Structure 1
Amino acid sequence: MTRQQVARLQGARDISPDTSDIPTPGPRDVVIRVAVCGICGTDLAFYRHGSTPKGAVLGHEFSGRVVAIGTDVTGVAVGRRVVVNPMHDGMGLGQVPGAFAQYVRLGNAELGRNLFELPDAITDEAGALIEPFAVGLHAVNNAKVTPDDRTVIYGAGTIGLCVLAALRARGVRDILVIDISDRRLEFARRMGATAIHNSSTGSAPAFVGSHFGTESLRYAQEPVGLASVVFDCAGVRPALRDAVHSLAPRGRLVIVADPHDNDLPNLRFVMLRELVVMGALAYESEFPEVIDLIASGKIDLSPIVTHRFPLSRITEAFRIQIDPEEAVKVLVLAD
């Protein structure tokens, strides 16, 4: 067999099955038979706008098995189950072909850098969740969270729920989750949130205040909450505004989602409260810890998987994933 099935993004909201040659490895490459690949928020952004070269193969949250190895690659054996850190070469992000395919080539493969072996305790599906959980863990690591922190998560999508799982892994006891979807909030409750709140039904800062206390300020229209750390996993202006008004003096605001707007609401408030605003971009060295946490059973991300589709039904998979009331995490299974 020399041909494989892939999914190509041809334009805005236009992704469909196609075929391509099965890749072969160069001297420093490995070829991986894809098992499972998740649809990421980044994939959805490309899908909404068609903002990749025509015919791009997306997909970077995946697990699979090594089937071919270049002559210069060491420490990797054919047959080993693996996951990939795609940030080194942008695999599946528009330029380098990704894992919405049956086979994918990883360039400059190096065990422990962009390639990681999966222990038997981690299933293929759990392996495909390692990459998004690394995003959540990196955000928690950036914030230097302690078990005593009073934490809030705005946004209960995949990344927000991964932040929740990471906080619980760190022993944090007080975790509030805020969203506008009752369905997604129910997932947060099942995964251990202390309390949940639909911000379309009432003030989010007031909800935070009901758990962590409030402070009335002459320059704020309503009392502000006293959380010590807030994670913005929503990326929309109303959530950012509420996040700023949920923090105690010198509190930390961690921007995890890619903001839809390029300005932070109420910068004067940030200054007056001496808030610390930080970003959390993807991950750095979190993959080994993530693998250990999942393999040990300390973290179970399976509740966030709501749908599974074969690669041949990629069009339907994206249609479902883009609806936040329909899906949390959609997995695509290589045929």
Structure 2
Amino acid sequence: MKAAAYFGVKDIRIVDIKKPEIDDHGVLIKMRACGICGSDVHVYNSGLLLEDSTKEVDNYRIIGHEFTGEIVETGRNVRGFKTDDRVVSVHNKGGMAEYVEVPGDRLKNLFILPNGLKYETAATLEPLCNPTHSFHLREPRDDETVAIFGSGIIGLGYLQNVKARTKARTIIVDVSDRRLEVAKKCGADIVINARKEDPVKKIKEITGDYYVRYQKKSAGGCQVSVDCAGTPLTLQQCFEVLHPEKGTAIIAAIYEDEAIIDPNMLLFKYMTVHGSMGYFEHETQEALDLIASGKVNRDIL
């Protein structure tokens, strides 16, 4: 069968590998759709996260881990799944192949697709799980302002969570007009192209410009800010736009370059900082329900 294999930095090739076999506890899935995760991009660009995001098959590293498909074979000890079930998988590796074997100890990451939900739509489930977890780390209130840096699949997923659950004002920053247009379709209240204007200055104009004692830089008025871009610059901007004494920053990106953090900014702004990587099992079902109910529209992504 055909599969997409990692050969080196910026070198992905289609290879022929053996069709996988299952044991008494696993299932075999015929692939229908597989998403390209941000971690896949890191693998492609730098080799970062290679072992965590790929599966070794026939001495190849097969990429892809967020996918949908149809179960074509089940082990005799499998319960809860049957042949012909339409399923979505989160973080089972080796998804960019014609068939994927999911072992018994990984079936907890397999979910039945609701009737009518398209394979392509459901393949965006995992990048909604991550921002669903980020949302719960500090749920914005209706009268608060949230700044989101990065209008990619994670930033947009966080935006969709906020808009589906609250009336909070949302500001999203990116360098791509195309991505910002999608953000508007997802309900963003304000979009800022950082190539065209200074996002920190603009956010301070919108939310207020506050004095911070012992600091050279003032503060914005956002109660929550989220870095989904993963650059040293956006991390600093994420911190700076937070309201003094009331701000929570959520780091929801992977950084290929080291970032310098000014601890005095955290100290004198009484800032709360959360790292957000992954999600709990119940949040997967929660995200799937958001998609199936139509509360978030993943097709526009």
Offset, 1:202: 2.7
1:55 aligns with 2:60: yes
- CA deviations 1:126-160 (Å, max 9, x no partner) are 11001111111111112233333310100111111
User: For the residues of structure 1 that align with 2:265 and 2:232, how far apart are their CA atoms?
Assistant: 15
Offset, 1:222: 4.7
- CA deviations 1:235-289 (Å, max 9, x no partner) are 1111111111100123100000013344452211110010000011121121111
- Closer, same or farther in 2 for the Cα pair 1:202/1:217, shift >3 Å? farther
Letter in 1 for 2:296: I
1:43 aligns with 2:40: yes
RMSD of Structure 2 on Structure 1 (CA)? 1.8
1:300 aligns with 2:297: yes
Name 2:277's counterpart in structure 1: 281
Offset, 1:297: 1.0
- CA deviations 1:141-196 (Å, max 9, x no partner) are 12233333310100111111111111111123300001122221121112110001
Structure 1 segments unaligned to the other structure (5+ residues): 93-97, 305-335
- Closer, same or farther in 2 for the Cα pair 1:27/1:286, shift >3 Å? same
Structure 2 segments unaligned to the other structure (5+ residues): 51-55
User: For the residues of structure 2 that align with 1:211 and 1:122, how far apart are their CA atoms?
Assistant: 39
Offset, 1:291: 1.4
Name the stretch that deviates more: 124-133 or 178-187: 178-187
Name 1:169's counterpart in structure 2: 164
User: For the residues of structure 2 that align with 1:199 and 1:222, how far apart are their CA atoms?
Assistant: 19
Name 1:314's counterpart in structure 2: none
- CA deviations 1:40-95 (Å, max 9, x no partner) are 11111111224547721010111111111112111111101111132xxxx33xxx
Greater relative contact order (Cα 8 A, min sep 6): structure 1 or 2? 1
Name 1:70's counterpart in structure 2: 75
TM-score (norm 1): 0.82
Letter in 2 for 1:55: Y
Fraction of identical pairs, as percent:
31
Name 1:103's counterpart in structure 2: 99
User: For the residues of structure 1 that align with 2:72 and 2:88, how far apart are their CA atoms?
Assistant: 13
Name 1:325's counterpart in structure 2: none
Offset, 1:229: 0.4
Runs of 4+ in 1 over 6 A off after TM superposition: none
Letter in 1 for 2:7: Q
1:9 aligns with 2:6: yes
Q: Is the 8 A contact 2:231 2:255 kept in 1?
A: yes
Letter in 1 for 2:285: P
User: For the residues of structure 1 that align with 2:293 and 2:223, how far apart are their CA atoms?
Assistant: 29
Name 1:188's counterpart in structure 2: 183
User: For the residues of structure 1 that align with 2:299 and 2:33, how far apart are their CA atoms?
Assistant: 13
